[in-house]
A and B are shown apart, each in its own frame.
Chain A
């Protein structure tokens, strides 16, 4: 069964450094998302991406964040200058063609900012 994959599984970085989190969505999916989950808290929406552009973003997704689909298979989240409060689990999700309501989540990248 196809699944969303994410790399790396864990990332440790110093405050102020740039990180890029990578995702390979399910191949025929058209909608792509990033969510984050701070330890012990609920999953929070960051951004949705469709037709090569951001379709919606949350107030968390400020100028430090960017997303890109550099080729036909990868979907990346970049944090330009990480802060301590960016430490969280980051999940990528994708949805198939159609109304795109069903989202399939990847296993996540645990980011720790020191």
Chain B
């Protein structure tokens, strides 16, 4: 029940296209859903996050769509650029007073081609 399922495993998009990565969760107690971007040899970097009280959040070219009833959320990267080529992880957590254990998805390797 703690799993977060992520798809696709890899994705190739042309420059200027839209990249879409999907995640699904099981634990209805999760109340925080971040997306992390990771470049080779680096730590994950927070990209954008959403709480379940909104259905969409947009920051620049990055948008999270959230469907609470379906227990799914997705990342859309508009106007994808070669510099967006990285591994993307969705995650979920239940925020408590003692911290915030993140459960990560399996990752999506995105390659944006010229």
B98 within 8 A of A: yes
Decide if A107 touches B43 in the complex (CB within 8 Å): yes
Decide if B99 touches A95 in the complex (CB within 8 Å): yes
Residues of B with C-beta under 8 A to A4: 43
Residues of A with C-beta under 8 A to B104: 42-44
Instruction: State whether A101 and B32 are in contact (beta carbons under 8 Å apart), knowing that A33-B99, A43-B89 are contacts in the complex.
Output: yes
A91 to B41, CA, bound (A): 11
Residues of A with C-beta under 8 A to B93: 101
Decide if B43 touches A106 in the complex (CB within 8 Å): yes
A45 within 8 A of B: yes
Judged by DSSP, the binding face of A is strand
A27 within 8 A of B: no
Decide if B43 touches A48 in the complex (CB within 8 Å): no
A91 to B38, CA, bound (A): 12
B95 within 8 A of A: yes
The closest CB in chain A to the CB of B103 belongs to A45
Decide if B89 touches A56 in the complex (CB within 8 Å): no
A91 to B98, CA, bound (A): 19
Q: Which of B46, B49, B98 lies in contact with A50, CB distance below 8 A?
A: B98
Q: Which of A44, A100, A108 lies in contact with B100, CB distance below 8 A?
A: A100
B72 within 8 A of A: no
20 more contacts with CB within 8 A, not counting A100-B95, A100-B100, A108-B43, are: A31-B99, A31-B100, A33-B99, A41-B106, A42-B89, A43-B89, A43-B104, A44-B104, A45-B101, A45-B102, A45-B103, A48-B100, A48-B101, A56-B99, A101-B93, A101-B95, A103-B34, A103-B100, A105-B45, A107-B41
Instruction: List A residues at the B interface (Cβ < 8 Å).
Output: 4, 31, 33, 35, 41-45, 48-51, 55-56, 58, 91, 93, 95, 99-108
